[in-house]
């Protein structure tokens, strides 16, 4: 409804067509919608350990179960291992709606592993949303492939000189 207010399934409202289009894309995504956390599940698979930069906040030397920080994963998976893990989780968690590759390196820089993971997951669970997080440096090389794979959301981290 142009210029009007559209109500969402979570009791929030949007005020214009642009907001409505954006809301429609994120309302069921637990990474982008606070309300979606109550209804949908997401899973990030650590299949992309290689990176093309070294951010000051990213220290990969230590992994501790009591902290969560960029660049660290307790277990790095191959694309086949990731697919098996996703299928196992999906069989027990019917709310699983999103699979993301967010490292522990850069998903676009470590493209072969990221692409193989997305292709396997999309083949086995075609209605799941695929997401990626990247520093953006290698993103232009893969935009067409991401679109062809129906990757639903791309998060680009922004870094700057200290």
Pairing of strands 6-7, 13-14: antiparallel
What is the Cα–Cα distance from 46 to 103, expressed in whole angstroms? 5
- 62 a known binding residue? no
Residue where the block lists tokens 């193989």: 116
- 157 a known binding residue? yes
- 39 a known binding residue? no
- 105 a known binding residue? yes
- 31 a known binding residue? no
- 134 a known binding residue? no
- 98's CB contacts (< 8 A; 6+ apart) are 29, 30, 31, 40, 41, 42, 43, 128, 129, 130, 131, 152
* Binding site feature residues: 51, 55, 57-58, 105, 157
* Binding site feature residues for [4Fe-4S] cluster: 51, 55, 58
* Binding site feature residues for S-adenosyl-L-methionine: 57, 105, 157
């Amino acid at each position: 409804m142009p210029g009007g207010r559209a109500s969402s399934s979570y009791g929030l409202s949007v005020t214009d067509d642009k907001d409505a289009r954006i809301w429609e894309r994120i309302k069921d995504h637990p990474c982008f919608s606070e309300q979606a956390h109550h209804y949908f599940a997401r899973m990030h698979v650590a299949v992309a350990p290689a990176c093309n930069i070294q951010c000051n906040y990213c220290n990969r030397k230590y992994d501790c179960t009591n902290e969560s920080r960029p660049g660290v994963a307790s277990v790095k998976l191959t694309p086949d291992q990731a697919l098996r893990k996703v299928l196992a989780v999906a069989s027990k968690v019917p709310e699983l709606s999103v699979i993301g590759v967010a490292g522990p390196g850069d998903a676009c820089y470590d493209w072969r592993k990221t692409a193989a993971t997305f292709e396997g997951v999309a083949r086995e669970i075609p209605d799941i949303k695929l997401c990626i997080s990247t520093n953006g440096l290698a993103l232009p090389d893969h935009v067409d492939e991401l679109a062809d794979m129906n990757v639903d959301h791309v998060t680009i981290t922004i870094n700057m000189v200290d």
